[in-house]
Chains A and B, each alone.
Chain A
C-alpha cells in the first residue's frame, strides 16, 4: 500500500490570499501523480496529471509542480476565491495499471 501524505490537513485563508499545500509520496517506482478537487456534496474532479520530474501544470489560478526524485508535489492557488473552497486530493499510482490510492486530502476554506 502506497503511503501518501498531504499537508496541511486543513487550511483557512482570506479571499485574495495565495496558498499552497503538499503531497508526499514514495519516490521509488514513480509513474504519475494526479491532483483532484472535491467540492462538498459533489464528486471529485481531476485537476492535473503529472508524469515528469520538474513538471509544472497550470489551470487558471491553480498550478502544480512535481519533484519525483524527492517524492513531493506542490499545489498553488493564487488569489484564493470562495469558490476554491474544497478538499484537494493527490494520488500517485504506482504503475499504469495500478489501483489509484488517494491521500487524505487538504481541506481549503476561503473566507470572503
Chain B
C-alpha cells in the first residue's frame, strides 16, 4: 500500500512564477491536509480538504494561494506569483474518513519550494 505521495520533491521558481504542488493520498483516504514549514519553524496548518470540498482553509494566505482536491486525481496546492517568502517545505497528510478510529495522519515526504 503506497504511502502519501508528493511531487515534485524539490521545485525552484523565480519570483512571479506559479508553483503547483501535488499530493496523492493513501489509497482509501478521502481527507487531505496541507501544512507549511518555514525555515526554523514548525508545521503550520494551511488547508483541510475532502474530495471536491474545502473543509477549512483558515490557515491559507488570502491571496495567491489556492487548493483543490478533485473527484479524480491528486490534491493540488497552487501558489501564484511566488515571492521569496513562499520558500518553504510544504507537507501533505491524509487520513481515512474514520480518522478518529485509526487516529493518525499519514504524511508525505514534503515538497521543498525555493523561490529565487
Partners in one complex: yes
Chain B residue contacts of A89, Cβ below 8 A: 42-43
- Cβ of A13 within 8 Å of any chain B Cβ, yes or no, is no
Query: Measured between C-beta atoms, what is the minimum distance from A85 to chain B in Å?
Result: 17
Q: How many residues of B contact A (CB 8 A)?
A: 23
Return 29 A-B CB contacts under 8 Å, by A number: A1-B58, A34-B103, A34-B104, A43-B91, A43-B107, A43-B109, A43-B110, A44-B43, A46-B103, A46-B104, A46-B106, A89-B43, A96-B99, A96-B100, A97-B55, A99-B33, A99-B45, A99-B48, A99-B55, A99-B58, A99-B59, A100-B45, A100-B48, A100-B93, A102-B35, A102-B42, A102-B45, A104-B41, A105-B43
Q: Is the CB of B104 within 8 A of A49?
A: yes
Q: Map CB proximity to A onto B45-57 as digits: 1 under 8 Å, 0 otherwise.
A: 1001000000110
Q: Map CB proximity to B onto A61-75 as digits: 1 under 8 Å, 0 otherwise.
A: 000000000000000
A-B contact count (CB 8 A): 56
Q: Which residues of B are in contact with A by a Cβ distance under 8 Å?
A: 33, 35, 41-43, 45, 48, 55-56, 58-59, 91, 93, 99-100, 103-110
Contact of A105 among B42, B93, B110 (CB under 8 A): B42
Place the interface of chain A in its size category. Answer: 20 to 34
A45 and B4 alpha carbons, distance in the complex (Å): 12
Chain B residue contacts of A43, Cβ below 8 A: 91, 107-110
Q: Is the CB of A32 within 8 A of B100?
A: yes
Query: Measured between C-beta atoms, what is the minimum distance from B7 to chain A in Å?
Result: 14
Q: What residue in chain B is nearest A1 (Cβ atoms)?
A: B58
Contact of A49 among B55, B59, B103 (CB under 8 A): B103
A42 and B9 alpha carbons, distance in the complex (Å): 12
Chain A residue contacts of B105, Cβ below 8 A: 34, 36, 44, 46, 100
- Cβ of A92 within 8 Å of any chain B Cβ, yes or no, is no
A40 and B35 alpha carbons, distance in the complex (Å): 16
- Cβ of A101 within 8 Å of any chain B Cβ, yes or no, is yes
A100 and B47 alpha carbons, distance in the complex (Å): 10
Query: Measured between C-beta atoms, what is the minimum distance from B97 to chain A in Å?
Result: 10
